[in-house]
Structure 1
Amino acid sequence: MNTLLHICCAPCANQCIDVLRTDGYAVTGYWYNPNIHPFTEYRSRRNCLRDYAASIGLPLIERNDYGLRPFVRAVAEDIDGRCVKCYSMRLYAAAHEAKEGGFDSFTSSLFISPYQNHELLREVAERAAAEYGVTFLYRDFRPLFRAGQERARELGMYIQKYCGCVFSEEERYLKAKKILR
């Protein structure tokens, strides 16, 4: 069985890759994250993933679109409800790539994050799978989140401080500002 793993970043992906390989899957990484901004953040995450993939022999497909304008247009009408649009952009692209590439299934490293809306993420992935006629391989990787972060630190990986979009970065700073008051 070969699966396409949409990857948001190397720190989130390392445990997902290990689990899938242990379960007998041939894993190919897929980089498509038009939500990550600014460009320096996008480049840092992408380059870290490139280096990690090379170090573990992970085939990596890159849809290397820095998508500031399309992302902002997609979420501008409902910034607070942006996550569903963000998940859709990435998971529909992954499902399409899985179909076109002849993969048996697809999944995402997003399923490791305790900060993501897991049920919404799963619903979007299932809709994408149905639309493209591919199998969505569901795994709840959240119990492995801390181990993945620890491994990322051990390997000297770049570890981000927010999910990727400028609005999540803004929320991070607003929360810090409230704490300082």
Structure 2
Amino acid sequence: MKLLLHVCCGPDLAVTMEHLKSDFNGKITAFFYNPNIFPYEEYVKRLRAFEQVAERYGLETMEGKYDEERFYALARNLEDESEGGERCRRCIALRLGVTASLAQKMDFDLFSTTLMASPRKSIVMLENEGKRAEKATGKRFLFSNFRKGIDGKKKRELFSGIYVQDYCGCVFGLREQEMKRQEIEKKDFEKLKQDFPEKIHLWKYRRKPLNSDNFEINDINELKELLEIIKPSKLVVTEGFAKAFSLTSKWLKCGSYNCRLERSERGETYG
């Protein structure tokens, strides 16, 4: 059996291959086709990550045309749609349709997509569009929820050394995400002013390394609340601070935010 696997990015390819390397008995060719990605520099970053992961798993690779005008044509009049709506459906339909047509042309037995490993995508929408492309080409669509069974620790191992993007891909999704980011920033800053007025100065460490020497805190719950608001890229702690708050792991769960911990003496992570 020969499978043509549409690939959206390196991280999702890694997750998908963890399923396929044991479940699929056949040859896999990885096909990178993503004319939606903006800007082109971002496209190149994701292409390089794709190549790294494909080499890791010994996959043959193909690259589709970066035809952004084709994407903009399908997105016309849908620029203000929220992510996950009709614009996204059309984008998925385009990429799966091209993949299925190529599978038909090159005599692959079936096709699939790493988009099913992405937590950002509707698995129902992917199944529907995959089946539609299957009906149009006669090539079987391999459907599976690849996002299942891979925990956070495993993902960190899989993503080590490769570029991991922080938005879906297109300019419209990027714009929407930026607006949401600004709303969250404003909400968190107001919460910092309300709950920790004496620690307003720590806002400058938002998404940056924060050292435990820069502030005083009373207990572990208060520490978690503060970190969830500021969301530093990591918390660098002294030996005394770590012992005082029993910080023995390399991550501290702070509500919906996981804060990475690092020892100040050695600059090494826990564990």
- Tell which deviates more after alignment, 89-98 or 141-150: 141-150
Q: Distance between the aligned counterparts of 1:47 and 1:18, measured in 2?
A: 19
Q: Note the C-alpha offset of 1:39.
A: 0.2
Give the conservation status (yes or no) of the 8 Å contact 2:2–2:26. Answer: yes
Q: Note the C-alpha offset of 1:148.
A: 6.3
- Aligned-partner SS, 1:27: strand
Q: Note the C-alpha offset of 1:43.
A: 0.6
**Runs of 5+ unmatched residues, structure 1:** none
Q: Distance between the aligned counterparts of 1:146 and 1:25, measured in 2?
A: 28
Q: Distance between the aligned counterparts of 1:119 and 1:168, measured in 2?
A: 20
Q: Distance between the aligned counterparts of 2:109 and 2:4, measured in 1?
A: 8
Give the conservation status (yes or no) of the 8 Å contact 1:15–1:148. Answer: no
Alignment of 1:92-111 (within 5 A): 92-111=97-116
Q: Distance between the aligned counterparts of 1:84 and 1:97, measured in 2?
A: 20
Q: Normalising by structure 1, what TM-score?
A: 0.92
- Aligned-partner SS, 1:121: helix
2:119 maps to 114
1:50 maps to 51
1:14 maps to 14
Q: Note the C-alpha offset of 1:37.
A: 0.8
Larger Rg: 2
2:29 maps to 28
RMSD: 1.5
Q: Note the C-alpha offset of 1:86.
A: 0.4
Q: Normalising by structure 2, what TM-score?
A: 0.63
Give the conservation status (yes or no) of the 8 Å contact 2:15–2:158. Answer: no
What do residues 44-96 of structure 1 show as CA deviations (whole Å, max 9, x unaligned)?
10112123222331001111x22222211210222312101100110001101
**Runs of 5+ unmatched residues, structure 2:** 187-271
Q: Which has the higher helix share?
A: 1
Q: Note the C-alpha offset of 1:152.
A: 3.9
Instruction: Give the AA of the match of 1:115.
Output: R
Q: Note the C-alpha offset of 1:147.
A: 5.8
Alignment of 1:72-151 (within 5 A): 72-79=72-79, 80=81, 81-143=86-148, 144=150, 146=152, 149-151=155-157
Aligned length: 179
Q: Distance between the aligned counterparts of 2:70 and 2:154, measured in 1?
A: 31
- Tell which deviates more after alignment, 47-56 or 10-19: 47-56
Q: Distance between the aligned counterparts of 2:144 and 2:98, measured in 1?
A: 19
Q: Distance between the aligned counterparts of 2:159 and 2:136, measured in 1?
A: 38
- Aligned-partner SS, 1:141: coil
With CA pairs under 8 Å and 6+ residues apart, which has the higher RCO, 1 or 2? 1
What do residues 21-55 of structure 1 show as CA deviations (whole Å, max 9, x unaligned)?
21223211011111111000001101121232223
1:163 maps to 168
Give the conservation status (yes or no) of the 8 Å contact 1:11–1:151. Answer: no
Give the conservation status (yes or no) of the 8 Å contact 1:129–1:136. Answer: yes
